Structure 1
Amino acid sequence: MASFYDGVKLSTVTCVLSGLVALGSAGPTAASANAQVAAAAAAQAWVPDGYYVPPYYPAPYGGWVEDWQESYTKAKALVGSMTLAEKTNITAGTGIYMGSAFRVSFPQLCLNDSPAGVRHADNVTAFPDGITVGATFDKALMYKRGVAIGKENRGKGVNVWLGPTVGPIGRKPKGGRNWEGFGADPVLQAVGARETIKGVQEQGVIATIKHFIGNEQEMYRMYNPFQYAYSSNIDDRTLHEVYAWPFAEGIRAGVGAVMMAYNAVNGTACSQHPYLMNALLKDEMGFQGFIMTDWLAHMSGVASAIAGLDMDMPGDVQIPFFGGSYWMYELTRSALNGSVPMDRINDAATRIAAAWYKMGQDKGFPATNFDTNSRAAFNPLYPAALPLSPFGITNEFVPVQDDHDVIARQISQEAITLLKNDGVILPLSPSQHLKVFGTDAQKNPDGINSCTDRNCNKGTLGQGWGSGTVDYPYLDDPISAITAEADNVTFYNTDKFPSVGEVSDSDVAIVFINSDAGENTYTVEGNHGDRDKSGLYAWHDGDKLVQDAASKFSNIIVVIHTVGPLILEKWIDLPSVKAVLVAHLPGQEAGKSLTNVLFGHASPCGHLPYSITKEEDDFPESVTTLIDSEFLNQPQDTYTEGLYIDYRWLNKNKTKPRYAFGHGLSYTNFTFKAASIKQVAKMSAYPPARPGKGSTPDFAQSIPSASEAIAPSGFDKIPRYIYSWLSQGDANRAISDGKTGKYPYPDGYTTTQKPGARAGGGEGGNPALWDVAYSLTVTVQNTGDEYAGKASVQAYLQFPGGIDYDTPIIQLRDFEKTKELKPGETTTVTLILTRKDVSVWDVVAQDWKVPAVDGGYKVWIGDASDSLSIVCHTDTLECETGVVGPV
């Protein structure tokens, strides 16, 4: 259930390292390997009918994509020079809280969170969280944030950044870590991931897209010795069209690493799932980098190796007290006894080294210069080995922030989503008498970093909690910014409505409320990561605070900091509630970014990255119900809603939300006009045949001699440090065991490489999937007469009627943010639809199919999913304006 973190928390001058761990037969003994296989099989029996996943072996080799071949050539040469123990050493961590010893020509690797920056570090920027970035609907800002995060990670010596997050996708509104991702739609998530990965990896840092896959709630996500993690039961089409969609886009962008989720999918744990890793990631999606576990999610040796896992993090078994591992020395033993073929070990090690070469980290990459465990300069080098650890300098306090506060503030500002502005109460005048209510308006009085990983909800909510957090260098809180902007401000730092004395009709009350969530590592105010106690309501009786203020004041502005959607019905229609702003999770720049909007220095231009419903039950039980109790059996989380999450479900059931996905008001008005559509490429029902795989390195190798597995004579081992070496006796016994015994391989196991999935052929899938099918342009004009502003242009696809596939009424397919337009100014925006955009996943053909070639697709254009005033037809290539949308 609870996890320690996703990031690496190693001491030394690193965070997590590439004295990485190794595989074994399946643990300390072959018997434990058999037990793991049997347990996995037993778990399958609990899964509902219809969610079977076929076995898929062997793990496809990497290196056949042209863009990666040079890196693989270098990596293969490096790995070819390593001993067996050195190869297994770079496939796993050396243990939780451990550093690593430099033993081969491949350096230590530092792996570190957070998806919003550099975790547990000084002199860094606490960027806005993913959900805030998604609310900008701005590709350029997504990219700029990625560039800044990449620069800061590089400056701190982080080789592998554990982000971006696109799983959870936001299926469950109460899910604890939805805020780490970009919103409740596969395309919004995919674009956020793609732009972030591009920005990060252009700085030479390996990005890690996570968590693959079906990690849609926090409680019961982890296996432990007494309880199986829940099984996310997902049908094939839903898996491809919704949950895997953003991962495919990230792989298409060249991401260097993928992190597997803790949970199971269709009965099998993700970290040892041959279909997910071998078939989907490495074959169909053509993934060339390396696949890692989440922290302490590794639970088998041979089973996970042959299923396609490349790296075990942080190296320990699930209870990391004694320095045990399913890999490292066990993987060395598994190679000597023949359980894990040498080509699999060589491929895994080469994938890791290839990603390192691909990002240019072999030349001039900074050494890790910070310590995630301490802010002191001088610390134990191996904290888990205390009291026997040597000490040394582990923190160098390197500043890496540069001017990244500017991009952080811009994102926070442009994400602010104006839901309501009755009577044009906004923007405010500095001369108005403002009375501000709510503890969320001011920074935590105990200190902005007083709660580890932000595991409390005190003061301004700028981040969720858990491994997705960044320590604040400072927090520009709202009340400081408001008092600096306005002439007459009274602040009531309380969440219970106080006595306020006489109130005039012109007084304006600004009420701050929030809703928090995070990782199941912590329980905060009764919420176990997910919002299981608070539900979709404001914390600290925030709804009552708004109601009480509304009974006293005639003019109420509500400011919401939140991890996701809230139910606003207790007060949203009260006459006094004139304006509502969602500021999401702004990170360190919560103040000026807000006052720039409140006081009209900038027009709000954020849009909701999820729907806000009138009641929780507007969504199906399959997404509103959290798994909150289970005994021994594996909890089952079956995706019976299929493709229909968020606005797709609401539209299908004709349920009007309070505020729709994509909704967001401005201080000005925009008109969309002069739309056009043209066909760019002629489509066929199925893509052209995939290109064949390019050549791959020769990973074949006979079993090495025992000498390659033995520690150097006289080497002084660190207690609890995980090594890849065997004793001479264990090495000899492993070779002997290989002659007399055989590992119980699962049904379908083979070592013969497959030519490749029909739907594959390149990174992300068949390259033809990204052929542009249609290009659209639309003219946007600021028709207001006072304020400049930016418009969000959103394109939703409606599949033709009469096809053999059930499809959502509309699905987001592209979006663009305009430049800032002055009153009267116009600009032209281009939107595109690819072959994949107009396809469905054909479960029989196992390929993407255009169900109506040149058929009557409709492309709806507007500024929200329920505000679509233009429709373009793919059959006639004509567009209509001023129409009524489909929902």
Structure 2
Amino acid sequence: MDATTLKEIEETLAQLTLEEKISLLAGKDFWRTVPLPEKQIPSIKVSDGPSGARGDTFSGGQKAAFFPSGILMGATFNPELAYETGELLSEEVRAKSASVLLAPTACCHRSPLGGRNFESYSEDPLLSGKMASGYIRGVQSRGIAATMKHFVANEQETWRLYVDETIDETTLREIYLKPFEIAMREGQPWAIMTAYNIINGVHCDSHPLALKQVLRGEWNYEGLVMSDWFGCNSMVESLLAGLDLEMPGPARKRPIKEFVEAAEKDESVRKAIDDSARRILTLIAKVGKWKDMTPEAPEYSRNDPETGKLIRRAGGEGTVLLKNEGKTLPLQPGSLKKVAFIGPNAKATVAGGGGSANLEPNYLTQPYETFVTAIKEINGDIEVPWVQGCIIDRWVPNIDVEGGFCRVGGPDSEAGLFLEWFRGYEATGEPVATTVFKTSNAFLWDSRPTSISPSEEFSVRFSGQISVPEDGKYNISLSTITASKLYLNGELLIDNWDFKERGNLMMNVGSEEVVKTIELKKGEWYPILVHNSSIWPKDSPRDPPMEEIGALGIRLGVAPVYDNAVLIAEAADAVKDADAVVIVVGLNNEWESESYDRSDTKLPNNQDDLIEEIAKVNQNVIVVNQSGAPVDMPWAENSNVKAIVQAWYAGQEAGHVIADVLLGKQNPSGKLPLTFPIKVQDNPSYLYFPGRDQKVEYTEKLMVGYRYYDTENVQTRFPFGYGLSYSTFSIGEPSLSTAELTEGQTFTANVDVSNTSNVAGAEVVQLYVKRPASTSSIKRPVKELKGFKKVHLGTGETATANITVDDKSLGIWSTEAGKWVVEAGDYEVLIGTSSVQDELKPAGKITVKAAWSWI
């Protein structure tokens, strides 16, 4: 930033009254900061990420590019690719007239059950920090602010607003703070978002160690720190700890009158107000909005072909080939007559997990359609039958609007449902505002008309007509945040006015889903209407933030009744004569989401049964799994399951990515960024996740992920860093640039990597360090990842991978000294292509003759 702008920021700050400065320290509304037009201070807009830029409407908003989830990007082991992704994400943010992207998410995976694991990169802090840094640099290279989150240790969704985590300082610093530390140094994010949780008795938004001592003190961070939405828990304490901005607005914990009174009594509060206001003004300048009072432009969808190409390429690079017996993959269509393509996700458009990472995508691709198109371009005579296999819906699916089964009114009306806002509880009279929703999932926490106050009585009508594809029994479901009734054909079908229980829908504030089963006929159009009032049922759990903002929410579902046992039997019968069977299984945004954790690691709703039954009748089974975290694979050793592909969540190009990998159009080069245990009970956090009585102890300490499995010799299904390829590679003998390390120096490991096949591909070279016996009182892992390099090689090509490690990477936290320490001794450097100990090659030893420390 130039000297002139810095001077103007100081001059503007000096002109502001105390009240004006305080007004800047909380949002204007859900997605914007407070403007002060008379002082030429504009409002800037933020947008949720990390898988795209959703804009200012949580559901039913403008369409946007849907990028791969963080876990897939972590599997690429390619920070440069994260940078490319960040560059295009910045353009998506501009299309939503925003200046700040609320991403990346870079928390470490403590447990495979974490509901938001799919958003983050890895169980390893180095990989997480490196990938986050690439993402941040890419976003900010084009003048958009990245907001690294959630600071810190947001490793579970259960009781997420108030769970108290007991974490020792060594573990906090070496595992959970470490990704942020790396990104501070290498990515330099312009903003940070605090987490909801409590650490050792103190909320993260006012944590003296994490925020004040480490972030603001040791790391000298001068960027903006904002709260997670409704995650500011105090007025003065959070300010003095270093929290600049309460979100969303208007202020809940930072009312101007009370804040002025506190500031007038305490000079330290006045100084902190100045510091926070300065950081807000600085961010406005960094994103190019200084004194720019241009009205906010309407949001729009870019739908850029180049973005789609990058998403597709990233998807292939992050896909992990877990098993490939007899070179089953890629498929050779010319030698095949019939490939059955089945499973619950075969015709599903599974792009990502649920919660704030979700958005309205520009388009979606499903595996079956893209596979059929691609394989028939090679062999037009091949048969590709589809069979459902089983259904994995956690809740009754939303009404199929795009499929033509829902319209606003009569025969010529548009597809969708009509939403009307009214004053009063009864939803009668003239509507205040109306809109058409293209989905039956209307989360209305940020959509209330500004003319209606959240404190007054109001209501909505959500109405239209529905039809069904076949005669039969159908489930119709309703979940709402507040009192509601559903009418079908003018008759009351579901009375949800006085519900008592809340479930996981709509960020845990929606009621438990109420389901009714009725007979419906094909060709008939059935009027459907939901009356939803702002009344909070007196016996249901309250949610003060949602009440304060006047949140409403409606989720309607319609789907045929099914029997998975029948569907599995039909599938087994249909694939007996197929040359190969592709089964697409996994999870989706109902099973993995913000607001709740998984209860186990099993594939839900009979998917294991489906795979086992298919493997009984066909000897060439290929399983494609879509999930953002490990799932049990009890059939992995089945000799008839020839190949396993971990496809993660690949965004809007997910279908194309799967087809590309199956047919060899893309050579998968992903490596597991987390460990797949044989069963969830093997995970070191199992007995202490998610805790009890809203408390959790991190008893495993440093033994997170592969650190535990390797140290304790616990067998895994698939280890950290593992992944196959259609290419074959050989790794030469590694060497080190030096045998001794002193303070301020680096060392480099060099190793030749050769592609010994006739298929171009990429290999990830990984560097692990075994440290000397430590004087630390905490148990330490047998080895840790300290560097990696992805090498892309053509057929027969050889290249040298150079991995440089700095002196601070060997440091451990000494609670006794209150410092980082590099202990004297011999450090063994190991090189390989996964974390498997027996397959690692020794590169040599690095000797540290004299210890050093820093803070």
Q: Same fold (TM over 0.5)?
A: yes
Give the CA deviation at 1:137. 0.9
The corresponding residue for 2:582 is 510
Decide whether aligned partners of structure 1 residues 876 and 211 sit closer, same or farther in structure 2, where only a CA change above 3 A counts: closer
| Residue 774 in structure 1 maps to residue 838 in structure 2 | no
Contact 1:152 1:401 (C-alpha < 8 Å) held by counterparts: no
Instruction: Assess, with a 3 A threshold, how the Cα gap between structure 1 residues 248 and 367 changes in structure 2: closer, same or farther.
Output: farther
In the TM superposition, residue 285 of structure 1 has moved relative to its aligned partner by: 1.3
One-letter identity of the residue aligned with 2:358: T
1:580 equivalenced with 2:519 (yes/no): no
Looking at structure 2, the residues matched to 70 and 672 of structure 1 have their Cα atoms a distance apart, in angstroms, of: 54
Residue 240, structure 1, aligned to residue 135, structure 2: no
Q: Name the CA distance, whole Å, in 2 between partners of 1:424 and 1:464.
A: 31
Aligned: 1:161 with 2:134? no
Give the counterpart of 2:629 among 564, 572, 588.
564
Pick closer, same or farther for the CA change 1:71–1:270 going to 2, 3 Å: farther
Q: Is the 8 A contact 2:584 2:625 kept in 1?
A: yes
1:532 to 587, 598, 615: 598
| Alpha-carbon distance between aligned partners in 2 of 1:559 and 1:488, rounded to the nearest angstrom | 19
Partner in structure 2 of residue 343 of structure 1: 271
Q: Is the 8 A contact 2:190 2:224 kept in 1?
A: yes
Conserved? CA contact 1:162–1:207, under 8 Å: yes
* 1:540 Cα deviation from its structure 2 partner: 2.7
Give how far 1:839 is off. 1.1
C-alpha displacement of 1:422: 1.0
Q: Does 1:302 align with 2:272?
A: no
Q: SS of the residue aligned with 2:732?
A: strand
Give the counterpart of 2:10 among 64, 67, 76: 76
- Give the Å deviation of 1:98: 8.0
Deviation at 1:333, TM superposition (A): 3.6
Q: Which residue of 2 aligns with 1:437?
A: 342
**197, 207, 225: which is aligned to 2:136?**
197
Counterparts in 2 of 1:580 and 1:301: CA distance versus 1, 3 Å: same
Gaps of 5+ in 1: 1-66, 223-228, 318-323, 370-394, 443-458, 518-523, 685-770, 878-887
CA contact (8 A) 1:462 1:585 kept: yes
Identity within the alignment, %? 30
What is the alpha-carbon distance in structure 1 between the residues aligned to residue 326 and residue 270 of structure 2?
A: 71
Choose between structure 1 and 2 for higher RCO, CA contacts under 8 A separated by at least 6 residues: 1
Rounded to whole Å, the distance in 1 between the matches of 2:592 and 2:802 is: 47
Supply the AA of the counterpart residue of 1:151.
E
Given the alignment of the two structures, is residue 149 of structure 1 paired with residue 89 of structure 2, yes or no? yes
2: distance between equivalents of 1:601 and 1:475? 19
Deviation string for 1:201-223 (max 9, x for gaps)?
1111111111111211101011x
Q: Amino acid of the residue matched to residue 587 of structure 1?
A: G
Deviation at 1:509, TM superposition (A): 0.8
Mean Cα displacement is larger for which, 400-409 or 171-180? 400-409
Which among 52, 55, 74 is matched to residue 117 of structure 1? 52
Distance 1:272 1:427, change over 3 A: same
The answer as to 2:723 corresponding to 1:640 is no
The equivalent of 1:219 in structure 2 is 158
1:671 aligns with 2:730: yes
Q: What is aligned with 1:651?
A: 710
Deviation at 1:417, TM superposition (A): 0.5
Whether the 8 Å contact between 2:685 and 2:698 is mirrored in structure 1 is no
Shift of 1:646: 0.5
**Contact 2:622–2:643 (CA<8 Å) still a contact in 1?**
yes
Aligned residue identity for 1:439: P
> Structure 1 stretch 182-191 or stretch 801-810: which is displaced more?
801-810
Q: Does 1:488 align with 2:383?
A: yes
Question: SS in structure 1 opposite 2:724?
Answer: coil
Is residue 2:615 matched to residue 1:550? Answer: yes
State how 1:310-321 maps to structure 2 within 5 Å: 310-316=244-250
Offset of residue 96 of structure 1: 4.0
Q: Deviations over 1:238-275 (max 9, x none)?
A: 11111001111222222111111111010011112222
Contact 1:92 1:328 in 2 (8 A): no
Q: Which amino acid aligns with 1:637?
A: V
Q: Distance in 2 between matches of 1:531 and 1:546?
A: 25
Q: What do residues 366-392 of structure 1 show as CA deviations (whole Å, max 9, x unaligned)? A: 8643xxxxxxxxxxxxxxxxxxxxxxx
Measure the CA separation in 1 of the matches of 2:75 and 2:686.
25
- Give yes or no for contact 1:148–1:404 (8 Å, CA) kept in 2: yes
**Which of 248, 251, 254 is residue 188 of structure 2 equivalent to?**
254
Q: Is residue 807 of structure 1 aligned with residue 780 of structure 2? A: yes
1:351: Cα distance to partner?
1.2
- Counterpart in 2 of 1:793? 765
2:832 maps to what in 1?
A: 862
2: CA distance between counterparts of 1:525 and 1:869? Answer: 36
Q: Report what 1:268 is aligned to.
A: 202
State the alpha-carbon separation in 2 of the partners of residues 470 and 825 from structure 1: 41
Give the distance between the partners of 1:469 and 1:662, measured in 2 at CA: 28
TM-score (norm 2): 0.73
Amino acid at match of 2:105: T
Are 1:124 and 1:401, in contact at CA under 8 Å, matched by a contact in 2? Answer: no
Give the Å deviation of 1:278: 1.0
1:621, distance to aligned residue in structure 2 (A): 4.3
Between the aligned partners of 1:610 and 1:817, the Cα distance in structure 2 is 17
Kindly state the Cα deviation for residue 872 of structure 1 after the two structures are TM-superposed: 1.6
Equivalents in 2 of 1:494, 1:248: separation in Å?
46
- Residue by residue over 1:664-699, the C-alpha shift from the partner in whole angstroms, topping out at 9 and shown as x without a partner, is 001121011142211399414xxxxxxxxxxxxxxx
1:478 aligned residue: 367
* Greater shift in the superposed pair: 152-161 or 289-298: 152-161
Report SS of the residue matched to 2:80.
helix
Task: Determine the C-alpha separation between the residues in 2 that align with 1:396 and 1:305.
Answer: 33
Higher fraction of strand: 2
Q: Please state how far the C-alpha of 1:353 moved relative to its aligned partner.
A: 1.5
Per-residue Cα deviation, 1:173-214 (whole angstroms, up to 9, x for no partner):
100111111111001100011101101111111111111112
- Structure 2 contact 685–699 (Cα < 8 Å) conserved: no
**1:419-459 residue CA offsets vs partner (Å, 9 max, x unmatched):** 001121111022421111113112xxxxxxxxxxxxxxxx2
- Contact between 1:272 and 1:308, CA under 8 Å: does it hold in 2? yes
Measure how far apart 1:557 and its partner are.
Answer: 0.3
Residue by residue, what CA displacement relative to the aligned partner does 1:273-305 show, whole Å, maximum 9, x if unpaired? Answer: 222211111001111111111101112212222
Partner of 1:884: none
1:3 maps to none
Matched position secondary structure for 1:440: coil
Q: Structure 1's 352 and 302: CA in aligned 2 closer, same or farther, altered over 3 A?
A: same
1:557-608 Cα offsets, whole Å, 9 max, x none, are 0000001001112x11222111000000101011222222111223221111
Deviation at 1:801, TM superposition (A): 3.3
What CA distance in whole angstroms lies between the structure 2 residues aligned with 1:154 and 1:412? 24
Equivalent position SS for 2:384: strand
Distance, in Å, in 1 between the alignment partners of 2:842 and 2:747 is: 14
Residue 164 and residue 875 in structure 1: after superposition, are their counterparts in 2 closer, same or farther (change >3 A)? closer
Contact 2:353 2:588 in 1 (8 A): yes
1:407 maps to 2:310: yes
Q: Provide the secondary structure at the position in 1 that maps to 2:813.
A: strand
Residue among 127, 131, 139 paired with 2:79: 139
Cα distance in structure 2, aligned partners of 1:568 and 1:327: 53
Structure 1 residue 516 displacement after superposition: 3.9
Distance change >3 Å, CA 567–CA 301, structure 1 → 2: same
Call closer, same or farther: CA 1:601–1:624 in 2, change over 3 Å: farther
Paired position in structure 1 for 2:660: 596
Please name the residue that 2:454 is paired with. none
1:176 aligns to 2:115 (yes or no): yes
Amino acid across the alignment from 2:354: W
Residue type at the aligned position of 2:40: S
Q: Secondary structure at the match of 1:207?
A: strand
Find the counterpart in structure 2 of residue 873 from structure 1. Answer: 844
